[in-house]
Structures are given as structure tokens and as C-alpha cells.
Amino acid sequence: MRAVFLGPPGAGKGTQAKRLVQVRGVPHLSTGDMLRAARASGTPLGEQARAVMDAGELVPDAVVDALVEERLRQPDTRDGFLLDGYPRTINQALALSRVLAKRLTPLTAVVLIEVDEEALVARITGRRSCTQCGAVYHVKASPPAIEGICDLCGGRVEQRVDDNEALVRERLRVYHESTEALVDHYGAQGHLRRVNGNGSIDEVAEAILEATAPEDVGGERA
């Protein structure tokens, strides 16, 4: 499987990606996680990304393209990968196509997770994330057993700095302005699978399994 998860902030891309990669045995490539790791380790790239992310805007294409290209050079991606949060602009999609064309490994699926806008705001403002392992919780839908402590690794569970309501609205605006065009872009290539993301986490996971079934090649059932 060589897949992309597309969808607005809070659609459930990260939550579903963590599940799907376990089933399919491919690495989870999240540009949001890569950028947060760069910030946490204080690299020049992380410092460059900090202000942009805290404003809810997009990090420049060239920066993110280079991160992803480098990651795709690593051998664990040879048998497949799941990209989450990338591409986010048409230029990023074109950059990804060029990298994959060189490897002769085109995408096998682009999954669009669709969720009603007000539900997105409630999901993101209620999200809590583990600062150590990245596990994702929600104060109502899926809280950790002990408040503030990760069930999986015992790390601190906190709210992401960009998860307040004002920034969520800005991130949604940026999604509509820059990322939504990818729906038509991948639709025209026959790669797009639409999944209703309004159901429970289990229901959405089931729909995504179906949408990324191995026999799906080039947008057609083989």
C-alpha cells in the first residue's frame, strides 16, 4: 500500500493512520509529527517551522517536500507507506509524484476523510496528545484512563499549542484555501476514495480498510 490520507484538521487522519499501518505493516509518515519533532529538538528547520505552525499556516512547500523526500529514501518505505498530512498543496502533490515516478512506485490510494465542520472544531479543541509517544486522546470520546497520563507509555498527555478554537478556524480556512484543491486533483487521476469520517473511530477504520483493500490499484478494482 502506498497511500495518502487527505482531510481537514481533526478529521481523524492521525487516529486512523496509527490503526491502518498496523494492519498493513507499512510506516506512518506524518509531516505534522516530523515538524513537531524538529521543533522539540530545536533544529534550525524546527525553529523555522515554529512560528508558521503556531499561526495555523502552512510551512513552505520546499521545506516539507525535502523532509518527505528524505524520509522516502529510507528502506522501510520500499514496500509501502502511509502519508498523513502530506501533500497539502498542489505543488506538494506534484513534488510527491516526481519522487514516486523516479522510484516507479505510484500511489495506490488517496483516502479523503470527510467530517462535518462543527464536529471538527469539537474534536480538535477536545484533543489531547502524549508528549512522549504521540498517542492521541479526546477528553470525551477517548480519554486516557488516568487524566494527563498516557495509557501506552506513561508520558504526559497535553493539549497541542495549535488546538485552540481560534487557530482551528484558521487551520480550516487554510485547508479550504490550499488543500481542498487536492480533492479534484486526485479525483481526476482516479485515485480518490471518499470515506465518511463522522462515525465512530471503529466504523471509520472499517470503511478505510475497505477503501485501501490491496486489490485497489490505480483507482480501479483489479
| Site residues for ligand AP5 per CB under 6 A | 7, 9-15, 31-32, 35, 52-53, 56-59, 64, 85-86, 88, 92, 123-124, 126-127, 136-138, 141-142, 171, 200-201, 204
Smallest separation (angstroms) from ligand AP5 to the CB of 105: 20
Taking the complex as a whole, the smallest distance from the CB of residue 16 to ligand AP5 amounts, in Å, to 7
Closest CB 218 distance from ligand AP5, rounded Å: 24
Instruction: Give the active site residue among 39, 88, 123, 193.
Output: 88
For residue 125, give the amino acid letter. Answer: T
- When the beta carbons of 158 and 218 are compared against ligand AP5, the nearer one is 158
Q: Are 107 and 190 in contact (CB under 8 A)?
A: no
Examine the residue annotation and report whether 18 is marked as an active-site residue of this protein. no
Smaller CB separation from ligand AP5, 41 or 200: 200
Catalytic residue among 18, 19, 160, 169: 160
Can you list the pairs that 145-153 forms with residues at least 24 positions away whose Cβ atoms lie under 8 Å?
none
Concerning whether 39 is annotated as a catalytic residue, the answer is: no
Please give the grid coordinates belonging to residue 67.
523532509
Longest dimension (CA), the chain: 48
**Which is the catalytic residue, given 2, 24, 171, 193?**
171
Residue 88 is among the residues annotated as catalytic for this protein: yes
What is the CA 101 to chain-centroid distance, rounded?
Answer: 22
Residue 1 or 53 with smaller CB distance to ligand AP5? 53
Render the burial of 23-46: b for 16+ CB within 10 Å, e for the rest: ebebbbbbbbbbbbebbeeeeebb
- Of 126 and 155, nearer to ligand AP5 (C-beta) is 126
- Helix pair 61-72, 90-103: axis angle to 10 deg: 20
Cβ pair 152, 130 in contact under 8 A: yes
| Between 63 and 213, CB nearer to ligand AP5 | 63
140 is catalytic: no
- Exposure string (b/e) for 190-205, b if CB count within 10 Å is 16 or more? ebbbbbebeeeeeebb
Residue nearest to ligand AP5 (CB): 32
Q: Is 123 a catalytic residue?
A: no
Residues labelled as active-site residues: 13, 88, 127, 160, 171
